[in-house]
Amino acid sequence: MINKLKVACLQVRAREYKDRAENKKNILKMIDKAAEAHPQLMVLPECAYPAYYLSPLIDKHPYFPEFCFEYWILVIS
């Protein structure tokens, strides 16, 4: 028996830090759309969101952890 892993690769345009709100909105929209296919793993480009801003986003923005638990997926970049 072969185990399969369903992966969603999201191609997101990297934007400047000043455009982070619009970029976050776009990323969340793409994650919602990709979730319709029920992947087990979602992968974003390394610089999809400014790295120096990502830690506070995950710590203070409940959407990412709740989303992962709701759909039982892993979102990585």
Q: Which pLDDT does position 71 carry in this prediction? A: 66
Cα(64)–Cα(73) distance, rounded to whole angstroms? 11
Burial of residue 12 (number of CB atoms within 10 Å: 0-12, 13-18, 19+): middle
Orientation of helix 63-71 relative to helix 51-60, angle to 10°: 70
Q: Which pLDDT does position 67 carry in this prediction? A: 67
Nearest partner of 25 among 13, 37, 43, judged by Cα: 13
Higher pLDDT, 73 or 36: 36
Q: Which helix (H) or strand (E) holds 63?
A: helix 63-71
Q: Which pLDDT does position 74 carry in this prediction? A: 66
The whole-model pTM stands at: 0.63
Q: What is the pLDDT of residues 1-53, one digit of tens each?
A: 788 999 999 888 777 778 878 888 888 889 889 999 999 888 888 777 665 55
Instruction: Please list the alpha-helical segments (H only) found in 13-50.
Output: 20-35
For the segment 50-74, the average pLDDT, to the nearest whole number, is 59
